[in-house]
């Protein structure tokens, strides 16, 4: 979506989430099937009313033709069926692909569904292979770093350039946990303090275990369709106002700057398409795989100036009661992180908030939400801006 031409023409009309955390009784494919059926039901539709399916493959149960396998399990033959994998950014890139497919006449109503079971269906050794294989095979992998080590480089660079402290990174984890405390299904709900984060087990200096996202099972799905088809559903339609992408590099050794990401490009494109500014965003749902990643996204997406992310978080503005709520489900630091599907829960939470159905954590008068995710090591970014009918 490069301009405002498609603004408000497509709507999210259904959503579903599975149980999260430790879900040993369902495989990733079974979770994906479950949330697909429940999202369609939530939209007031049947599979016969939907003609598209977009999924993301699972690390714990890789299937060559994943979307087709999920459709096969359901006895469903959608006319548009595709598997997408752009890492953590897959959720919002898949939404943009669904919009493009509908605009091109390839489908009318598409389910986007993702699930994985990193906690119950992967051994520790398998998980370590995934963690250590993301680096460049010649210039990174031989030195043995894992994913947390790469994000530790980013954290250290931000500290060296801007004077950011470990305590300021910790504020991100504290904020997310404060929201998770109000979410009955969050994987981790016990409140934590900055000192708790700082004193937790070291992982990759300066990151501690509470600076790192959870390892989870879980899945979620949404249904998207044209605006004119969205009016008769049981829930308030949530409209796509803008979308943008930014791609800086694949391997972190090729990054020109560790403290600024391609979220700048993705955010700028999404704001232009939506005709909005950061000040007009009511809710932020950002990709908190590690605390420094969350801090840098806040800066790059324009919610505070460069180098001021630490002070922004420490002010408490993102916590319950603050003026800039962030990751109101608890994010991947506290709600769940089942790998590539992790950002799906930021999207479904935004839908719940905009429907007015977020229960104890419900915010007042949420009309706009910005959802952002990234794949790789701050490599491939996608920003989605949503709004309710009143914003059109």
pLDDT tens column, 103-119: 999 999 999 999 999 99
Angle at 344 between CA 65 and CA 140, to 5 degrees: 70
CB proximity list for 75: less than 8 A, separation 6 or greater: none
* Full set of structural domains in the chain with CATH: 4-122+215-229 (3.40.47.10)
Mean pLDDT of 161-175: 98
pLDDT per residue over 40-76, tens digit each? 999 999 999 999 999 999 999 999 999 999 999 999 9
Name the nearest CA neighbour of 214 among 333, 310, 104, 322: 333
23: left (phi over 0), alpha (psi -120 to 50) or beta: beta
Name the nearest CA neighbour of 391 among 245, 278, 240: 240
Range of lowest pLDDT (82-86, 120-124, 145-149, 345-349): 120-124
Cα(182)–Cα(327) distance, integer angstroms = 12
Contact assessment for residue 238 and residue 388, using Cβ atoms and an 8 Å cutoff: yes
Helix or strand (DSSP H, E) at 13: strand 10-17
Instruction: Using pLDDT thresholds of 50, 70 and 90, give the confidence band for residue 2.
Output: low
CB-count burial class (<10 Å; 0-12, 13-18, 19+) for 201: exposed
Cα(376)–Cα(340) distance, integer angstroms = 10
> Six-digit token pair at 26?
């369902």
What confidence score (pLDDT) does residue 348 get? 98
pTM of the model: 0.96
Percent of the chain beyond pLDDT 90?
A: 89
Instruction: Using pLDDT thresholds of 50, 70 and 90, give the confidence band for residue 287.
Output: very high
What average pLDDT does the structure give for the chain?
Answer: 95
């Amino acid at each position: 979506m490069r301009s405002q031409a498609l603004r408000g023409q497509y709507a999210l009309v259904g959503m579903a989430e599975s149980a999260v955390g430790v879900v040993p009784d369902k495989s990733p494919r079974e979770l994906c099937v479950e949330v697909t059926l429940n999202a369609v039901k939530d939209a007031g539709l049947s599979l016969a009313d939907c003609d598209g399916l977009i999924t993301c493959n699972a690390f714990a149960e890789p299937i060559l033709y994943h979307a087709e396998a999920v459709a096969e399990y359901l006895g469903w033959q959608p006319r548009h069926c595709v598997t997408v994998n752009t890492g953590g950014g897959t959720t919002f890139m898949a939404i943009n692909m669904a919009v493009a497919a509908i605009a091109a006449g390839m489908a009318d109503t598409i389910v986007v569904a993702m699930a994985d079971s990193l906690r119950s269906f992967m051994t520790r050794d398998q998980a370590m292979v995934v963690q250590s294989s993301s680096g460049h095979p010649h210039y990174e992998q031989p030195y043995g770093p894992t994913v947390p080590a790469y994000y530790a480089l980013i954290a250290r660079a931000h500290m060296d350039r801007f004077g950011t402290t470990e305590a300021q990174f910790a504020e991100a984890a504290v904020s997310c946990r404060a929201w998770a405390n109000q979410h009955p299904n969050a994987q981790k709900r016990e409140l934590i303090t900055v000192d708790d984060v700082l004193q937790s087990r070291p992982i990759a200096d300066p990151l501690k275990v509470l600076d790192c996202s959870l390892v989870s099972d879980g899945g979620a799905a949404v249904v998207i369709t044209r605006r004119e088809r969205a009016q008769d559903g049981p829930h308030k339609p949530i409209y796509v106002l803008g979308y943008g992408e930014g791609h800086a590099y694949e391997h972190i050794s090729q990054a020109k700057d560790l403290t600024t990401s391609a979220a700048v490009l993705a955010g700028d494109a999404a704001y232009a398409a939506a005709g909005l500014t950061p000040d007009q965003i009511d809710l932020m749902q950002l990709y908190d795989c590690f605390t420094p990643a969350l801090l840098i996204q806040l800066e790059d997406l324009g919610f505070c100036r460069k180098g001021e992310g630490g002070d922004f978080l420490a002010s408490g503005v993102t916590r319950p009661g603050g003026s800039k709520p962030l990751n109101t489900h608890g994010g991947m630091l506290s709600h769940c992180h089942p790998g590539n599907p992790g950002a799906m829960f930021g999207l479904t939470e935004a839908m719940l908030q905009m429907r007015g159905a977020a229960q104890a954590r419900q915010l007042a008068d949420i009309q706009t939400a910005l959802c952002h995710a990234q794949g790789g090591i701050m490599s491939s970014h996608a920003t989605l801006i949503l709004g309710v009918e009143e914003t059109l």
